[in-house]
Amino acid sequence: MSRVDRQLPLEQQLQGYWDNGQAFAACRGSCSGAVFVVASGPSAANFPVERYRHIPMIAMNGSIMRFVEADLSPLFYICDDRGFVRLRQSLVSQGIARSQHAALGYGALEVLLQAAPEAVDGHSVYLMQRSNRPVNGLALSDRRYAWSVRNDPDIACRFSLLRQKPNRVGFSRNMSKGYFGGRTIPFAALQLAYHLGFSQVFLVGVDMNAQPGRFYEQGEAALPTRLDEDYEDYILPSFELLAEQVVGPAFQVFNLSQTSRLPGDLVPVIDLNQLDALLASS
């Protein structure tokens, strides 16, 4: 449960959440089997989450609306976008209240503690810390950090002397050491799933298309997205690294979106019949 003293200065509160968040170490490997990672792409609207209520699920950002509709409680709700918290605070509050646990990025939790600190009261809330962005101390350059973790079995990371962007692409198997954003929240959820010990991850609503937007909002009221700007430089390379260095017999990832922008040779696309077969055989 959240026990950080709200009378403390904001910076000390955030430090307190990170200290409490060392419970990330305690929950590492605490789960097994299958988990659904439910994002906000249009295909999520038609996925029958009710049918799989017995399987743990991770919700994120506005996908919590799918759980509200189905009257389900996710295992985790995650958000690492301070802008989303600022503009969709009610959704974040619902996500925290409905889920067994919540994990928020530093900026997201900072905004929430400023705007609606009561949203975390009495709930299990973790601070998700970005890799190489320590709460205490100074960050290394992206290149130096990538070089420093090259032999760390908990971290898969690109390294380049010639280009800076590849050094920002990675995957953390241990959330106590931080996580890589990948410029898309489902990628953080994949790292959380690995950390918790799940061996099969089924992606729902990971369409990765800027149009037609999110399943729960359309038109002028919809928040802008950077999918198109970030896809080639960060999102696709992150999933390429996932396929090359992380996925294997002990950690499998499947995509239930039939219209996903992610190539099927990186994340295999399956239908509901194949999903049921995989679940039955596990």
Q: What is the pTM of this model?
A: 0.95
Beta strands in 86-237 (DSSP E): 101-105, 125-128, 155-157, 170-172, 200-204
Between 172 and 134, name the one with better pLDDT: 172
Q: How far apart are CA 35 and CA 15, in angstroms?
A: 30
Give the model's pLDDT for residue 224.
76
Residue 208 lies in a domain: yes
pLDDT for res 74: 98
Per the domain annotation, does 4 fall within a domain? no
Residue 216 in this model has a pLDDT that exceeds 60: yes
Which whole number is the average pLDDT over 10-34? 83
Confidence of residue 65 (pLDDT cuts 50, 70, 90): very high
Q: Report yes or no on 271 lying in a domain.
A: yes
Checking if the pLDDT of 222 tops 80, the result is: no
Beta-carbon count within 10 A of 258 CB = 11
- Residues 68-79: pLDDT tens digits? 999 999 999 999
Q: Evaluate whether residue 6 is within a structural domain.
A: no
- Say whether 58 sits in a helix, a strand or coil: strand
Q: Give the span between the Cα atoms of 235 and 181, in whole angstroms.
A: 9
13 pLDDT more than 90: no
Domain-embedded: residue 174: yes
Q: Is the predicted pLDDT of residue 160 greater than 70, yes or no?
A: yes
Per the structure, the complete domain to which residue 41 belongs is given by 11-281
State the pLDDT at residue 21.
52
SS3 assignment, position 244: helix
The CATH number of the domain holding residue 15 is 3.90.1480
* Residue 192 reports pLDDT greater than 90: yes
Q: Can you give the pLDDT at residue 215?
A: 83
Taking only the tens place, the pLDDT of each residue in 69-127 is 999 999 999 999 999 999 999 999 999 999 999 999 999 999 999 999 999 999 999 99
Structural domain count, the chain: 1
The answer to the question of residue 1 being in a domain is no
Q: Report CA Rg, the chain.
A: 18
